[in-house]
Amino acid sequence: MSFNIVKNDKKRVIIVGGGFGGLKLANKLKKSGFQVVLVDKNNYHQFPPLIYQVASAGLEPSSISFPFRKIFQKRKDFYFRMAEVRAIFPEKKMIQTSIGKAEYDYLVLAAGTTSNFFGNEHIEEEAMPMKTVSEAMGLRNALLANFERSITCSTERERQELLNVVVVGGGATGVEIAGVLSEMKKFVLPNDYPDMPSSLMHIYLIEAGDRLLAGMSEDSSRHAEQFLREMGVNILLNKRVTDYKDHKVMLEDGTEIATRTFIWVSGVAAITFGNIDGELLGRGRRIKVDEFNRVQGTDTIFAIGDQCIQTTDKNYPNGHPQLAQVAIQQGELLAKNLQRLQKGKPMQPFHYRNLGSMATVGRNRAVAEFSSFKTAGWLAWVMWLVVHLRSILGVRNKANVLLNWVWNYFTYDQSLRMIVYAKKAKEVRDREELEAKTHWGEETQTQQPNG
């Protein structure tokens, strides 16, 4: 396999990751005089803030995803390759990927994060994460399958395990998934499963800290907790999950909660590559960068978004929050800085402009805070809807999401509750097996590329 991209007289920028930051950078480099190569393990951009709605059967995955090749149609000097980065070789200005090697003039790491299980391998194996569209689809199937089985199981113990839902992590994602599951219990279960009392379903939200939404103000945390408790969610604060055995979530204080729907959204860790120096990694495995988002100790490698940590901003000495706006602003500035480098001009340092933060809890319930004011309830909910609808890529996707939201609001119903397990074609399975064997073979050899 090979990248099959001819190196021309233009300098090549390879962007690893097509999230908010990588996509913004690629768009801003249009007509910049660079040859731009975007590398991502998926062939589509996904919209993480609405992944929880896919997991709860509120939206189809296609409504919050958009193919990269559609975004960059008719774009000159732009190439997309679906691949995973395996190693980086700064001295050769080269990356090793699942489809071969590629040389670069500038490399930008924007691969984002993955779920953080804090070293607990057993929980990682057992829990259901919700970081990607594919993980959300897996959770949706498991949730709906558990509902179906709960009306045919033979024991009350198994039924309760199937109907108890445990969400670990009191950040925005945990609050949002707990809220939407509560609405599912109230509006969906009585209609879809009339022979099963919806009161048997219990939703638990577990947070190791002393409040929800730790990244927001105490007022917003208090409002979110109040909303969720009113919606029937069991909130457990200052509780740490230690294990999951025999369909039971084990807490540090000895408490056990029976469940077969164990959802883990308790933090993230940056994606790393095989041969990256451990000294370059900071908190949460984030790559250390300077004020220009340049990886420390390098001249041509940059990192943006959730994958990097910058401690030079006096307002954020411990690093910027891992939010979409940080990645977008870093991607936009880096595009300008790369062009300034081309012209022999000095780069401009990055300073984050905090545009506010928000989280939705449920119908007519949300919290939002900006530099000038804070609000909670219906107004915050409407603002959340507008901001997220505007941010979705594609007119068709915006229309689909808006139609779904309007329909759900007035009918209290969703029509997407199908259990569908995708089966890979034999050709794809064989290719993945071959690539996996090749990858393991490469790891047993030297870390240096040939030639």
* Pairing relationship of beta strands 164-168 and 78-82 according to DSSP bridges: unpaired
Average pLDDT on 84-112 reads 95
Q: Does 451 have pLDDT greater than 60? A: no
In the predicted model, is pLDDT for residue 111 greater than 60? Answer: yes
Dump pLDDT digits (tens) for 281-302.
999 999 999 999 999 999 999 9
Q: What is the pLDDT of residue 450?
A: 47
Same fold, 12-41+83-115+269-343 and 121-266: yes
Tell which CATH architecture fits domain 121-266: 3-Layer(bba) Sandwich (3.50)
DSSP state of 163: H
Q: What is the CATH number of domain 12-41+83-115+269-343?
A: 3.50.50.60
Max CA pair span of the chain: 74
The strand pair at 202-207 and 287-289 is best described as unpaired
Where do runs of H (alpha helix) occur along 97-212? 121-126, 133-150, 156-163, 172-183, 189-192
Please, what is the average pLDDT of the chain?
92
Asked whether the predicted pLDDT for residue 268 surpasses 90, the reply is yes
Considering only CA atoms, which of 230, 212, 231, 210 is closest in space to residue 220?
212
- Going by C-alpha positions, the residue among 13, 7, 17 that lies closest to residue 85 is 17
Q: Quick one: average pLDDT of 6-34?
A: 95
Residue 304: phi, psi to the nearest 5? Answer: -135, 165
- CA 123/CA 258 separation, integer angstroms: 15
* Separation of alpha carbons 269 and 263, rounded Å: 17
- In this prediction, residue 444 carries a pLDDT of 52
Binning pLDDT at 50, 70 and 90, where does residue 439 land? low
- Give the Cα-Cα-Cα angle 358, 361, 367 (nearest 5 degrees): 35
Domain boundaries, the chain: 12-41+83-115+269-343, 121-266
For the stretch 349-408, pLDDT in tens is: 999 999 999 999 999 999 999 988 899 999 999 999 999 999 998 888 899 899 889 988
Predicted pLDDT at 443: 57
Q: Residue 415: its pLDDT value, please?
A: 67
* Other residues' Cβ atoms within 10 Å of the Cβ of residue 410: 8
The answer to whether residue 446 scores a pLDDT higher than 50 is: no
